[in-house]
Amino acid sequence: MNNNNSIIKIAKETIEAESQAILNLSNLVDSDFAQAVELIYKSKGRVIITGIGKSAIIASKIVASLNSTGTPAVFMHAADAIHGDLGLILKEDVVICISKSGNTPEIKVLVPLIKRVNNKMIAITGNKDSFLGQHADYILNAYVEKEVCPNNLAPTTSTTAQLVIGDALTVCLLELRGFTSNDFAKFHPGGALGKKLYLRVQDISSVNNKPKVEASTHIKDVIIEITEKMLGVTAVVENNKIIGIITDGDLRRMLTKAENFENLTAKDIMGTNPKRIEASAMAIDALEIMEANEISQILVEDNGEYAGVVHLHDLIKEGII
């Protein structure tokens, strides 16, 4: 077997093995999980999540997921906690400790300190009978039969299981809070994801040129308008109401068909049923209309009045595509 085939085989076996382990987690979800979610949901404090080694990395990711979906969370490294960072934990906070074995030296030192100040503690562990499991108020069972590592040593399947438990916890809390896409946008204002959730058509069209002509406008002036406004299109309006559209493509088709341009006006070549969108609509909706109709521009209306143009290039520039 050549190297390529061997690599592909190992990769597939790894994915399949971890998939089976993750699927089995659904059989381990019990009343402790539900009560832990309720505890966090009703808490007036934050969620402090701690771990050591690879579990600490998973803890950081779960913290990020909770923060971005409306549940305030803070990461506390288990080793740092016993050297001063324990002061992060406030009276109303709920603590989540993540450990595969539940018996690491740091966890054995940390757990009694947490219990001493009476904070509720949730364990994410693969060993319910461990030191952590015995002292936790609630256990989120992340048991896996073995690591996918051929030596059964490197944290692989176990950390994936911890991550999935964290995702399940996050989604449960998100649902309980009625967290919507609008809420999500508030926490993710930057980048393409945020823009898809909050950027509106008017945010783009209001800074673009606003090409427009009337039905009686001579074709020469139509060409000048399209050229100067640099959007490859112009609206044809009457009392600032859209009655048609002329694109670069319409001009090219005109050149192949017409023999005399002297008497041509906008009305002679305009399309009479242009795609349009409300200024208050989301920019992502404009993209969907463009893609569905294979067009590069869409006219914008505001309460029935012509309000501008959005070009496909605008959406690319904003990172929507």
Residues whose CB falls within 8 Å of the CB of residue 40, separated by 6 or more in sequence, listed in order: 47, 71, 94, 122, 169, 173
How far apart (Å, rounded) are the C-alpha atoms in residues 46 and 40? 8
CA distances from 209 to 225, 243, 272, 312 (A): 10, 19, 21, 14
DSSP state of 146: S
Q: Amino acid identity, residue 139?
A: I
Residues whose CB falls within 8 Å of the CB of residue 85, separated by 6 or more in sequence, listed in order: 76, 77
The residues facing 235 across adjacent strands are 212, 245
Residues whose CB falls within 8 Å of the CB of residue 265, separated by 6 or more in sequence, listed in order: 215, 216, 217, 218, 219, 222
How far apart (Å, rounded) are the C-alpha atoms in residues 228 and 226? 6
Strands 138-141 and 121-125: parallel
How far apart (Å, rounded) are the C-alpha atoms in residues 117 and 195? 43
CA distance between the termini of the chain: 41
Smallest CA-to-CA distance from 284 within 179, 178, 180, 181 is with: 181
Residues whose CB falls within 8 Å of the CB of residue 32, separated by 6 or more in sequence, listed in order: 138, 139, 140, 141
Count Cα atoms within 13 angstroms, Cβ side, for 92: 9
Smallest CA-to-CA distance from 54 within 140, 145, 154, 194 is with: 154
- Is 188 annotated to bind ligand? no
Determine contact, residues 252/201, Cβ cutoff 8 Å: no
**Residues in the annotated binding site:** 77
**Residues in the annotated binding site for Zn(2+):** 77
